[in-house]
A = this chain, B = another copy of it.
Amino acid sequence: MPKQALILGGGFAGLAAARALQGAPCTVTLVDHNNYHLFQPLLYQVATGELQAEAIATPLRGLLDPSGIGFRLGRVLAIDPDARRVHLAEGAALSYDYLIIALGSVTNFFGQTELARHAFDLKGVDLAERTRSRILYAFERATSCTDASERAAWLTFVVAGGGATGVEFTTALLELIATLMRDRYPLLRQTPPRVLLIQGGQALLPGFAPALQEAAAGKIRALHGDILFGTHVTAYDGLIVHSTSADPLQARTLIWTAGIRAHPLTAALPGADPHSGRVATDPLLRITAHPEIFVVGDGLAGRDHALWPQVAPFAIQSGRYAGAAVRAALLGQALPGPFTYRDPGSMVVLGRLDAVCQIDRWRLRTHGHGAWLLWVGVHLYNIIGTRNRLLTLINWAIDYGARGNAVEIIRKC
């Protein structure tokens, strides 16, 4: 009976682990509740209609070699480390000798259930499409409104959270509004929409150099967006936004990008931090009490009190490392040395033709057209599959070239 390696999650980390295990002397099964790998760094563009969901979703069966690595569509209900078994919602239980947990993260509403019910977020294809539909629907409702304050509420968009996702989404939304306003809703030229970014800290884009943080804030203001620093949203009922520093504000749409936490199953593992849900491991990314369980990607806590970044390059490197470690164990080889992360740098796009880029090991800090071109190149290169690259390129040609919008379809909201 061959050994069983089980990978939970088909995101960047899980896929990298699966590829590192290709050809290893074991049965490898990757489990995901979606049948596709999602290129999450571009998901905010689905929410603003710049990209079709299909352009960044790639079928997992097409990415995994069917003769080597099995795919199982299923929702994981529970992990039983003592029995070395994973239970699926569909009823089956899968046994393992090695388990790689790559379940990623979920939106963190910090226990605010009313806010969670009414806010829009960007943590999956359906949610991003729902956000896009809501934005377009808000414009439709605003055009047919006869009451001025109701119209203003439909035309007010609040973004909570000024990290990379919040900044990229806000600038894209502002560009979308400028385009839609001009072309589709001539009646609204008299009532300009309002976009307000609410950020807890005193700067956008934590971790970036101050000059780049200021470039991002400057860009948002140049596109007629507002920013509120040092402020937290405290309540939202679908209409009134309450915050720590401003008067209550009427807004029909609140987009929440203010926090993530590890997947609930990761957070239930021994050693998980109660707040972030992230798990501390040994230097080989194994759970101390269960060295046959690896945790990779967003669910991993960090080392020496420093948290790992929850970004795609980290997910890929940690996933690949865990796959290689399992392969070495199966082959009876020496395990690799402690995991180390090589930071390739960070990029955040600021609407059309603008971005900030910080690559510490090259001492590069730049923004503007050059950074945007670099961003386009890196993302097109990293999108998986020729078809998806082509689709993305056509979508962007429409967005940036024709100043249109690739997707304007309202599905549901």
Chain A contacts to B: CB under 8 angstroms: 34-36, 52-54, 57, 59, 61-62, 66-67, 72-74, 90, 92, 125-126, 136-137, 140-141, 144, 183-186, 387, 390-391, 394, 398, 404, 406-412
Contact = CB atoms under 8 A, between A and B. Distances in A.
Given A34-B410, A54-B406, A59-B184, 17 more contacts: A35-B136, A35-B140, A36-B410, A54-B407, A54-B409, A59-B409, A61-B185, A66-B183, A66-B184, A66-B185, A73-B140, A125-B409, A126-B411, A126-B412, A387-B398, A387-B404, A394-B394
Nearest to A398: B387
Contact of A144 (B62, B73, B391, B407): B73
A406 B390 CA distance: 12
Contacts of A67: 186
Contact of A408 (B36, B52, B183, B391): B36
Contacts of A387: 394, 398, 404, 406
Copies held by the complex: 2
A59 B387 CA distance: 24
Contact of A184 (B57, B62, B90): B62
A54 B184 CA distance: 18
A295 B183 CA distance: 31
A144 B61 CA distance: 14
A387 to B, nearest CB: 6
A-B residue pairs, 9 tightest by C-beta = A73-B140, A59-B408, A61-B184, A35-B410, A57-B409, A36-B409, A66-B186, A52-B54, A54-B407
Contacts of A186: 66-67
A90 B141 CA distance: 9
Contacts of A57: 409
Contacts of A409: 35-36, 53-54, 57, 59, 125
A72 B391 CA distance: 31
Contacts of A141: 73, 90
